[in-house]
Structure 1
């Protein structure tokens, strides 16, 4: 096939004269590929972050908002603020439809330092731990207290990257299980980790990297199993057209109380309706 490879247009790229596979380039939402390879793009993003952090820190020192002893904490805070702003602006992953109430990392930082002294105090403590251990899991991050809310003054706190990830994994969820076209039931779990672990134990081949939550769509996972997964309070997207035909059978029966056997069928009705994305 044509156009399976391209050249990185960054003149400083150490592979600028090589044809690289398209997997080495990020894609825009419209399907077009970046002009520079992932390696160069990541390096440029990091350089931009560092330059932005330096300028922000210089401004904070000039305004006497931070002290020289707080420069290291201000640097990691800038990077986290910028990351949250960009994730919300470009609807990246779990940040789709989440709003950030700041457009500037500097303004974000100033509000945290001046209006949320507890958050800033916790940030400096966690940053000191990160500086000592050098473990990425100890890096301080900006977390939303209510994960369904936006990034606002009333909804942010400091958490280590480890605790932030642990909180995300602990999100309650439920699943409807269908086996060979028959509903087995709807089951609830305390976290996605518990869901994956328990389903695998009973022979349902669920893959954490491929399965998706809150789609409103059934997903085939193999071994005759089909799943519909939803996180607690998860937003299921609306569908412009019908995705499923739902058939409801209603029976009225006369049952012997002693034997539990059906004595007589008193009536049978069937309803059909079209449905878009499903919610459980």
Structure 2
């Protein structure tokens, strides 16, 4: 199938990141690690967040009449090693009337641990006149179609620009290809903006290559207007490796997302 033949929802930035649900076991999904999803050869956090959203969020969205919005995502790497394929396996921690919490274990093609995550979703009723797409149908098609591989770094495809490495200033003007149904910027894209901010900030201060090894993300209100702009600062001394990133939607002058990131310097051959 040529790119022109794909439905538009499958050519969004999120879809092109390649997270695929398992059509047999709904608690699983996987992503093939394209070099354009990586930094210094290591998969970024954002595609792994999207994999969590695909495995857990799309399953929940297909089961309830409400919207399900991601409120929190926490991730820790098990190590800094390259992988060709990563599988996520989810476990329910709590499914309540309003909040649903699950955790995920990520493993590579050798079944070695890549990392661990916990993710929370909040149920929100549709507004009067709103209609949800058939998420179950979209999920099934995502699991069966072979999408075109990324041919440019995912941050470039999303339209993210690094403005000032020394302050971690990263910007993005939202376009339709980064939005989820309802108009908000998808959580994985918000995660990518924060991850890029923390990484470039650390690399500017350490003067060496870095990888984000852990992230705690709070999705406060989805970016809708833009531009979305970040600012980073150290928590304690730079030696701590802990960075706080705030992401502001300047169109509405609101704090949209906040991150606590752990970074680690690496040697690149």
Higher relative contact order (CA 8 A, sep 6+): 2
Q: Select the structure that is richer in helix.
A: 1
TM-score range, shorter chain: under 0.3
**TM-score with structure 1 setting the length:** 0.25
Q: Select the structure that is richer in strand.
A: 2
**TM-score with structure 2 setting the length:** 0.26
